[in-house]
């Protein structure tokens, strides 16, 4: 297959996905919901952070769409917190897409002003290109992954509004330079917001919860003004 044909097919796939994503975005906007697409490499601590986040949000209405190639292990962990969670298994697919998320949203009937968390498949490449209808992507980066990770996978960090440097409790044991992490993140995305956080110790959790509540409030105010 020629390079031109490959580009044509890829453009067609992304165009169709964008249409599904826009339909999801319209649905969520109509509900005054705030939707976050959590992206990262495998093992960054997404699910643990999400469980801690659900606990910290307390009575805030929310639901989770959980993406993995196989198993319901992470969805089961999330359901154990009491939160509704829909598992989406992608099989050989390396990311969620707008169509998958649209079907999952059909099964998540929540009141207005709820939060939707989408935990994407662990992968720093494909999810960067596929919009799901979310308000923003949040990239979770374990401090054990190496300070050059943002430079190796710039598309993901360019597409993200917020980067969370997770597992900061391990930093003293890994000879890691957190300032260099932040500098490299801003090299690829000068406007990215950054939080240092440890889901294990609770460091930074208050700032993360505050960020979520603030963005939900802004979304709710916009809907009320319409």
CB 139 within 8 A of CB 164: yes
CB atoms within 10 A of CB 6: 10
User: What's the CA gap between 222 and 226, in Å, rounded?
Assistant: 7
Q: Counting beta carbons within 10 angstroms of the beta carbon of residue 144, is it exposed (0 to 12), middle (13 to 18) or buried (19 or more)?
A: middle
Enumerate domains of the chain plus CATH numbers: 3-221 (3.40.50.300)
Cα torsion angle, 72, 77, 80, 84, sign: negative
Does 46 score more than 60 pLDDT?
yes
The two tokens of residue 226 are 């319409």
Prediction pTM value: 0.92
pLDDT tens digits for range 86-111: 999 999 989 999 999 999 999 988 88
Tell me what the mean pLDDT of segment 140-156 comes to: 96
Q: Which of 158, 138, 121 is nearest to 212 (CA)?
A: 138
For the chain, give the number of residues.
Answer: 226
Concatenating the DSSP letter of every residue in 113-176 gives T-EEEEE--S-SSGGGT---S-SEEEEEEEGGG-TTHHHHSHHHHHH-SEEEEE-GGGHHHHT-
User: What's the CA gap between 108 and 165, in Å, rounded?
Assistant: 30
pLDDT tens digits for range 156-201: 999 999 999 999 999 999 989 999 999 999 999 999 999 999 999 9
Q: What pLDDT shows up at residue 221?
A: 74
User: What's the CA gap between 192 and 137, in Å, rounded?
Assistant: 11
């Amino acid at each position: 297959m020629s390079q031109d044909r490959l580009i044509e097919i890829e453009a067609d796939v992304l165009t169709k996905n964008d249409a599904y994503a826009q339909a999801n975005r319209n649905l969520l906007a109509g509900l005054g919901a705030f939707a976050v697409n959590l992206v990262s490499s495998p093992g960054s601590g997404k699910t643990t952070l999400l469980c801690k986040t659900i606990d910290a949000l307390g009575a805030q209405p929310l639901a989770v769409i959980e993406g993995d190639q196989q198993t319901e292990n992470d969805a089961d962990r999330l359901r154990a917190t009491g939160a509704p969670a829909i598992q989406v298994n992608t099989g050989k697919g390396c990311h969620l897409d707008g169509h998958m998320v649209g079907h999952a949203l059909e099964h998540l009937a929540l009141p207005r002003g709820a939060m939707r968390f989408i935990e994407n498949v662990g992968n720093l490449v494909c999810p960067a290109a596929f919009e799901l209808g979310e308000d923003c992507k949040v990239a979770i980066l374990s401090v054990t992954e190496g300070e050059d990770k943002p430079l190796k996978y710039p598309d993901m960090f360019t597409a993200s509004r917020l980067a969370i440097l997770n597992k900061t409790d391990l930093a003293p044991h890994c000879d890691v330079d957190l300032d260099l992490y932040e500098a490299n993140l801003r090299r690829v995305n000068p406007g990215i917001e950054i939080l240092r956080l440890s889901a294990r110790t609770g460091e930074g959790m208050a700032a993360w919860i505050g960020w979520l509540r603030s963005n939900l409030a802004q979304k709710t105010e916009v809907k009320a003004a319409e």
